[in-house]
Structure 1
Amino acid sequence: MQAAPRHTAGTAPQVGQPHTRNDQACHDLSIRVRDLNLWYGQTQALKNLNIDLFEKNVTALIGPSGCGKSTFLRCLNRMNDLIPSVRIEGLVEMDGRDVNATRMDEVALRRRVGMVFQKPNPFPKSIYENIAYAPRMHDLVSRKAEQDELVEKALRDAGLWNEVKDKLHEPGTSLSGGQQQRLCIARAIAVQPDVILMDEPTSALDPISTATIEDLMDKLKQQFTIVTVTHNMQQAARVADYTAFFHLGEIVEYNDTKTMFSNPATKKAEDYITGRYG
């Protein structure tokens, strides 16, 4: 795709939209964020964020440490509610419903918006139970045959089945770091979410495991919307359809990834991507 001209005054995109569109990507809306602000006590961590996240795409959140990427990610499934000092204003909307509404079922929300953390965190259970436990609790499966089928499908979708099919009743913690992270991804997709949030999912992994997870993200976006935080610019360029650049709690630029990395619209984004700071 031909690089778009550098963005200039008077041609501002519609609020929440990228400066240019990735023609190969789906443009159906998954999550709509408007005027989102967040405080930790008296300290404002997110400032007037506006962004549309598209279905069945990978959106990468980049920016220097402490700029609000992970805080924003946790807004999408209300993980910040677990922090007593947090106060949130603004709209985070899925299917026309504000996820922060008092009537929103947080458990149901987190089933629809799964999370994979920076450090693999398998449950202290067997590989099988890591996958089957949550679907059973959500009444997605009941009979043993249904559980077996779901466990196999989730592990296959996570690219792990052939490595663990003969040791399903061994502890999840017995796997290697890369395998544990894929187990956590399998656990997330087993409850049939719409969105998967990934907070630096490869930062603790070796290069081979990192490449495996990146390939997996490319396959999973055929089924799920993925939003990932990364400090690795090469990774963002490889896996993301869209990229949002955060700085000091604000979204400075949001663009399709090819244009962001070849012809960023802002000097700040250009400086960060080219390694002048960060």
Structure 2
Amino acid sequence: MSGHERSRHASSRPEPGQPVTRNTDANHELSIRVRDLNLWYGQSQALKNVNIDIYQKNVTALIGPSGCGKSTFLRCLNRMNDLIPNVRVEGLVEMDGRDVNAPKMDEVALRRRVGMVFQKPNPFPKSIYDNVVYAPRMHDLVSRKAEQDELVEKALRDAGLWEEVKDKLQEPGTSLSGGQQQRLCIARAIAVQPDVILMDEPTSALDPISTATIEDLMDKLKQQFTIITVTHNMQQAARVADYTAFFHLGEIIEYNDTKTMFANPAVKKTEDYITGRYG
């Protein structure tokens, strides 16, 4: 790259907190576009003018202190906040050129495309098999038993769980260990073939071995899905995320590719958080 090109590239770098493309040569396709997103719980504003571009088949980590808006933002992407009383949302959350908050948006269809894995494993009180096949049946994605069997095996294989449970598919999902239950919930989420998987601190309740298993799984799943994860673990963000957004008091302070942010943060507040000076 010539000196002129380097200068031009540096001058085009967006301000912290604004949408960013890690590498123009990577040709990442846009998955979700967010502009001027604001959210209130009653009179309390939880998100303030959030702008971010999230790219397909990457892991994007949301970091920041407790109560800074990370999980609230995550729930904006599949309208889970609609289930909370007195929530008001303004701004644009766009997928495929469509505003997910538009009145005509089918929320059920949206949540099929944008699946969610929660902090605490929450398998249904059903068999392992029925946990995986329940949503595909509801959405009429499978009908014949052979189709259901094939889907269950594929989802469990993709979630790294098949070999451990293939001989006990009719046993309750709740009979599994915590780490296995979380992978079952991931299998349940991917069984309907979403475009995006949201993960709200998916390893915070797990032991180190199960955590490492889930992290490896995220790295494999991003070949098929866009993954957005909330984490308080800076080492985890550095290990698994292609992009990282740092939230503070409802705002995105800095957003960049993870290696750049962790090696050379543009904002001192980001550096202080990453290095453990507060949070």
TM bracket, shorter-chain basis: over 0.9
Asked if structure 1 preserves the Cα contact closer than 8 Å seen for 2:18 and 2:254, the reply is: no
The normalised TM-score by structure 1 is: 0.94
Offset from partner CA, 1:188-247 (integer Å, 9 cap, x none): 000000000000000000000000000000000000000000000000000000000000
Distance in structure 2 (CA, Å) of the matches to 1:135 and 1:168: 17
Give 1:180-199 correspondences, 5 Å limit: 180-199=181-200
**Alpha-carbon distance change, 262 to 172 in structure 1, aligned in 2, over 3 angstroms:** same
Q: Which consecutive residues of structure 1, in runs of 5 or more, have no partner in the other structure?
A: none
Asked if structure 2 preserves the Cα contact closer than 8 Å seen for 1:120 and 1:181, the reply is: yes
Distance in structure 1 (CA, Å) of the matches to 2:252 and 2:120: 26
**Aligned partner of residue 89 in structure 1, secondary structure:** strand
Asked if structure 2 preserves the Cα contact closer than 8 Å seen for 1:15 and 1:51, the reply is: no
Offset from partner CA, 1:92-127 (integer Å, 9 cap, x none): 000000000010000000000000000000000000
Post-superposition shift, 1:84? 1.2
RMSD: 1.9
Corresponding position: 1:67 with 2:44: no
Asked if structure 1 preserves the Cα contact closer than 8 Å seen for 2:242 and 2:257, the reply is: yes
Which position in structure 2 is the counterpart of 1:179?
180
**Aligned partner of residue 181 in structure 2, secondary structure:** helix
Give 1:70-89 correspondences, 5 Å limit: 70-89=71-90
**Aligned partner of residue 170 in structure 1, secondary structure:** coil
Post-superposition shift, 1:11? 5.8
Asked if structure 1 preserves the Cα contact closer than 8 Å seen for 2:19 and 2:51, the reply is: no
Which position in structure 1 is the counterpart of 2:166?
165
**Alpha-carbon distance change, 84 to 32 in structure 1, aligned in 2, over 3 angstroms:** same
Distance in structure 1 (CA, Å) of the matches to 2:190 and 2:247: 27
**Alpha-carbon distance change, 15 to 248 in structure 1, aligned in 2, over 3 angstroms:** closer
Post-superposition shift, 1:141? 0.3
Which position in structure 1 is the counterpart of 2:131?
130
Post-superposition shift, 1:33? 0.2
Q: Which residue identity lines up with residue 252 of structure 1 in the other structure? A: I
Give 1:77-116 correspondences, 5 Å limit: 77-116=78-117
Aligned pair count reads 272
Post-superposition shift, 1:20? 6.2
Q: Which residue identity lines up with residue 254 of structure 1 in the other structure? A: Y
Asked if structure 1 preserves the Cα contact closer than 8 Å seen for 2:22 and 2:257, the reply is: yes
Asked if structure 2 preserves the Cα contact closer than 8 Å seen for 1:26 and 1:57, the reply is: no
Which position in structure 2 is the counterpart of 1:241?
242
Which position in structure 1 is the counterpart of 2:226?
225
Post-superposition shift, 1:27? 1.6
Corresponding position: 1:266 with 2:267: yes
Asked if structure 1 preserves the Cα contact closer than 8 Å seen for 2:20 and 2:53, the reply is: no
Asked if structure 2 preserves the Cα contact closer than 8 Å seen for 1:18 and 1:256, the reply is: no
Which position in structure 1 is the counterpart of 2:207?
206
Distance in structure 2 (CA, Å) of the matches to 1:26 and 1:208: 34
Would you tell me which structure has more helix in proportion to its own residues?
2
Offset from partner CA, 1:130-185 (integer Å, 9 cap, x none): 00110011010000000000000000000000000000000000000000000000
Asked if structure 1 preserves the Cα contact closer than 8 Å seen for 2:16 and 2:255, the reply is: no
**Alpha-carbon distance change, 23 to 205 in structure 1, aligned in 2, over 3 angstroms:** farther
Distance in structure 2 (CA, Å) of the matches to 1:274 and 1:29: 30
Point out 4+ residue stretches in structure 1 off by more than 2 angstroms.
9-12, 14-20, 22-26
Distance in structure 1 (CA, Å) of the matches to 2:157 and 2:21: 35
Corresponding position: 1:40 with 2:41: yes
Asked if structure 1 preserves the Cα contact closer than 8 Å seen for 2:159 and 2:187, the reply is: yes
Post-superposition shift, 1:26? 5.3
